[in-house]
Amino acid sequence: MNVLNFGSLNIDLVYQVDHIARPGETIASSAHQVFAGGKGANQSAALARAGARVFHAGQVGPDGQWLVDKLAGLGVDVQHIRVGDVPTGHAIIQVDRHGQNSIVLFAGANAQIDRGAIDTALSHFDRGDILLLQNEINDIAYIIAAASERGLTICLNPAPFGPEVRAYPLELVDLLIVNETEATGLAGASTLAALAALCPHAQIALTLGAAGAQYHSPTEEFDLPAPQVEAVDTTGAGDTFIGYFLHGLTANMTARDAMARAVQAASLCVTRPGAMDSIPAADEID
């Protein structure tokens, strides 16, 4: 079973600060680092580190080849990533002394993917394969519809959430993974019941940060707590959870076992700085 992740690739500019800057305030940063990032790329890295066979599709600019090379080095198949003329997407990330973050995102090349590239990438996958999507690239609704026609299993993580998500063909989604903010934006409340009313046929995973995660399907529902750890940087935690959870499902784990492994991986991720670089390897979890 293959996973096609059609998603973003970003350059993350991370600044360590005492507190997140308030409107009108100028603050000093005690450190600056550059990381590979983007929710799409992070989730492909997490899938690969968890042990999945993952293909990444997307677009970078001339300044982003090193991101493609980094994913390839992690074991991600990058044949469906294109290099265009628009600069690579990037994120400006403030991380405060408690490990909480604030992010400004510039889409760049992530918003310039044409339908020819979409159709070409999808043509290599068929029924039984999984499509993973976030909300950092353009034409999500088209990708969902085209993938559904090919019989792919569709997993959606609508992050970062925007009102356009409500117009996506959510009835075609087989697995929905959201945090509390995304759940509230999508369904009006951060509860499994509200999400299930919106996507009654889908598996749903609701992540709750330090409180763990919740799961719902038409046949099962449960909660799992998270280990208590000292957070350094929460930037890649959700992406780590998604990669490990989705790999567990592709490896025929039960939903409970897949989620338990994903929660452990996300908890370890937040004890390290960065996004992609903080994702743990499978042997660290197992």
The CATH number assigned to the domain holding 12 equals 3.40.1190.20
Residue 141: is its pLDDT beyond 90? Answer: yes
CB < 8 Å & 24+ apart, contacts of 192-198: 192/216, 192/221, 198/170
Residue 235: is its pLDDT beyond 80? Answer: no
Q: Which two tokens stand for residue 237?
A: 């935690």
**Which member of 12, 239, 277, 286 is catalytic?**
239
Share of the chain above pLDDT 70, in %: 100
Measured CA distances, 86 to 7, 56, 64 (Å): 16, 19, 10
Q: What CA dihedral angle connects 50, 215, 42 and 32, to 10 degrees?
A: -120
223 is catalytic: no
Q: Which two tokens stand for residue 113?
A: 């993917």
SS3 assignment, position 54: strand
CB < 8 Å & 24+ apart, contacts of 246-249: 246/3, 246/47, 246/52, 246/130, 246/132, 246/155, 246/175, 247/3, 247/46, 247/47, 247/50, 247/51, 247/52, 248/50, 249/175
Residue 173: the pLDDT is 97
**What residues make up the domain containing 185?**
3-285
Average pLDDT on 227-243 reads: 88
Average pLDDT on 6-10 reads: 97
Average pLDDT on 63-79 reads: 97
Closest-CA residue to 130 (of 54, 220, 51): 54
Please write the tens of the pLDDT for every residue from 114-139: 999 999 999 999 999 999 999 999 99
Residue 155: is its pLDDT beyond 90? Answer: yes
Residue 151: is its pLDDT beyond 80? Answer: yes
Q: How many domains does the chain have?
A: 1
Please write the tens of the pLDDT for every residue from 166-221: 999 999 999 999 999 999 999 999 999 999 999 999 999 999 998 999 999 999 99
Residue 274: is its pLDDT beyond 80? Answer: no
SS3 assignment, position 138: coil
Residue 105: the pLDDT is 87
